[in-house]
Amino acid sequence: MADQKEMILIVEDDSLLREFFEEVYRKIFGDEYEIKIEVNCEEAIPTFGANKERIIMIQSDFNLSQAKGIMNGIEFLKYAREQEFRGIIVLASGDIFEGELLEIILHKGIIHLMKPITYSDLAPLARILKESRK
């Protein structure tokens, strides 16, 4: 891992949001971290498996409705925790039901961002991430 950068893994099916997240994280972090973006969980699972030791944050959309994949964002994040991922987990959602919100709350260590997400919503994540790396 010494010769490879730590990684931020983003799972987002909306192309505009993928571009937005990458732009904001590049603005915040520059080239400090590799930013890997996947469209769905089918792509994210092998990326996670191959890079688990250097992934420091996973950010996933909740629904991934455009991707029509094998699992949604919360299921992928549960999978990551089952694989003993100890980094920061961020779940982004728009419309969310009470039961789904309870599920997020019950999974400790998940930061929830409500859409629409702005730069000012993501900036505190930079502080959290930097503090976790000390």
User: For the segment 11-27, what is each residue's pLDDT rounded down to a tens digit?
Assistant: 999 999 999 999 999 99
- Residue 21 vs residues 70, 77, 115: alpha-carbon distances, Å: 23, 18, 12
What are the domain boundaries of the chain?
Answer: 7-127
pTM exceeds 0.85: no
Number of CB atoms found within 10 A of residue 109's CB: 11
What is the CA angle 79-11-92, rounded to 5?
A: 90
Element containing residue 112 per DSSP (H, E): strand 110-114
* Token pair of 89 as six digits: 């987990």
Query: In this structure, which CATH number among 3.30.70.100, 3.30.420.40, 3.40.50.720, 3.40.50.2300 belongs to the domain 7-127?
Result: 3.40.50.2300
pLDDT over 90 at 123, yes or no: no
The helix/strand/coil state of 86 is coil
CA torsion 134-22-62-5 (nearest 10°) is -40
> Encoding tokens for residue 9?
């893994």
Residue 105: its pLDDT value, please?
55
pLDDT tens digits along 46-75: 999 999 999 999 999 988 866 566 788 888
